[in-house]
Amino acid sequence: MIGFTIQVTFKNKNWKIVKRRNLFEKLHDKLKSDIKGDDKEFTIEFPKFKDHSDETEDEMQESMEALSNYLTELAKNPDVYSNQIFLEFCEVSSVTYRLRGAIVYKEGPVTKRSGGRYKQDSSWSYKYVKSCFRNWSTRWFVLTDQYLLFLEDSADDEPNECLLIDSNFHVIYGENQTGDELGITVINNHRKLELKAKDAFEFTTWLRAFRTAIENNGLQSRVRRSFDSFSPMRNNNHVEFFIDGNDYWNRLYEELMTAEKEVFITDWWLTPEIYLKRPVNLYNTEMDEYRLDNVLAKIAEKGVKVWVLVWKEVEVGGMLYNSSQHVKDSLENMHENIIVQRHPANLIQFWSHHEKICVIDQKKAFAGGIDLCMGRYDTHSHPIKDKGDEAGNYLFPGKDYSNSRIKDFVEVKDTSEALISRNTTPRMPWHDLHLFVKGETAQDLAVHFIEYWNNAKIDVEGTKNKEGAFLRPVENLMDTMSKSRGKHIDGSVDDLHMYDEGEEFGIIGKDFIEYIVQDADMELEVDKGAEDLGKKPYT
């Protein structure tokens, strides 16, 4: 197999793609067929070559120069540079330039098989039904240093699914492993995705891209994970501990107000109306800016996306009071940038979401034992009485003055009235621990939430509803390695991974040739083409 390595460049960004010569011919035929009409005429001629088995070394060099000139001519043609067919050849899709912080190793169409999600396939009835109807279809795949996306086609705005390169991510391939000579199976903690390459060249180039992505992924580092943890131990962290809710919530307010891109929150129970700073006067609106729902609305108005995952409670005899529907309704009504998921979907489950995590911009995070809800705020002195001061200020306003040993929470939508008498009944203190971390572990917590969210989204909505998008990591935990190869969306790319004969993932062979098309003027053209990518499906 003879392949050509092409360097695609625009502005200060560049990447390399590997193509066989027959793909250039197919590109030409597709463009010639697609670009036609009264005001369009495709007049660019495709170079003529001998069959490669008869070519001399000099003729091979001439053919490479001819292809370089051909691509340069294509890139300068206004009818070509924004054409989806040409952009797909350059491995450009509608999401290419929107993958913040990603290093893209390969994009392109691949045939996939439906099914393979572990939770769905655990049911024998589901297995039987789906085994009869599992179909193959072509999708556009995007492989980065942190995840594998696939879309309906290269013009799709949002992915159908995002498979993280998690601690169990690995790839098996070939007839012995997959039952197909060109079969590739991608496996992570949530899915076993079956792919099929159309030829040996596509098979080999995708396998090499997978290997490079795995080698450069932070969670996939070859290091020991104590207690079967999802992430390894990290050294580069700044950590602070908070005893009791007062210190935690004060710091949380300050950090939330610095959010620039996104905030992730998950809790067992969340009360939108809680005040992060105390004391509070319920009859004075000056403190309303410290209410959690108002804080989230304020940062959402700045353009920050807020993603909230809460447990969908199952009420048994009125014993559970989380009112997750109220959380979803009240927060999503505050601003369109706030998205709330309730999970699980329908059936009674004998488990609950019990983690208490808040991640800010995937760089800073809080984790511990204190929910953002009523009954969790307290100070180091743990007062058991709170009758307020002369101005009507309370540390524990409304229902937050509580004692669940005497009367548990009910009607939590209304937070204004206490359930117990402030004059006769002491409140129950709440003593717990939370921490703040900035550094690599914060990024691990971000990846953990993303895995959490994406799994819940598929469980609740499936892959068709793209309103609550699949989340993606934006920082690589192994920057020193990951930035050396691939398509770096936030900057430039350095060296292509060189392929040696006899590598573990297959052999391209001694005729594999690297040739870089340096003169193709693809700066503004490719950039504009990506923005104007049409909605014509891949064929």
Return residue ranges of the chain for CATH 3.30.870.10. 237-456
- Which tokens go with 180? 């197909």
**Residues 6 or more apart from 381 whose CB is under 8 A from it?**
none
Give the Cα separation of 412 and 399 in Å (integer): 8
- Which tokens go with 28? 């030409």
Instruction: Give domain 3-220+478-531's CATH number out of 2.30.29.30, 2.60.120.380, 3.40.50.12280, 3.40.50.720.
Output: 2.30.29.30
Residue 209 host element (H or E): helix 200-215
Contact present, 311 and 343 (Cβ < 8 Å)? yes
**Nearest 5°: phi and psi at 161?**
-165, 155
**Residues 6 or more apart from 182 whose CB is under 8 A from it?**
196, 197, 198, 199, 200, 202, 203
Give the Cα separation of 116 and 218 in Å (integer): 25
512 DSSP assignment: -
Return residue ranges of the chain for CATH 2.30.29.30. 3-220+478-531
Residue 468, Cβ neighbours under 10 Å: how many? 17
Give the Cα separation of 9 and 24 in Å (integer): 18
DSSP, collapsed to helix, strand or coil, labels residue 146 as coil
- CATH assignment of 237-456? 3.30.870.10
pLDDT in tens, the chain (539 residues): 456 777 777 555 677 788 887 888 999 999 999 988 767 778 899 988 766 667 777 877 777 788 888 888 888 888 888 889 998 998 888 888 788 878 889 999 999 999 898 765 445 555 555 556 679 999 999 999 889 999 999 999 888 899 998 888 889 988 888 999 999 999 988 899 999 999 888 998 899 899 888 888 876 655 667 777 878 888 889 999 999 999 999 999 999 999 999 999 999 999 999 999 999 987 888 899 999 999 999 999 999 999 999 988 876 655 566 788 999 999 999 999 999 999 887 655 667 788 999 999 999 999 999 999 999 999 999 999 999 998 889 999 999 999 989 998 888 888 888 889 999 999 999 999 999 999 989 999 999 999 999 988 888 877 666 556 789 998 666 544 334 445 544 332 333 333 333 333 322 222 223 333 333 333 323 333 333 333 333 33
Per DSSP, the residues of 72-84 read HHHHH-HHHHT-H
- Which tokens go with 399? 């229902």
Residue 242 host element (H or E): strand 237-243
Contact present, 342 and 324 (Cβ < 8 Å)? yes
Helices (H), 462-491: 479-482
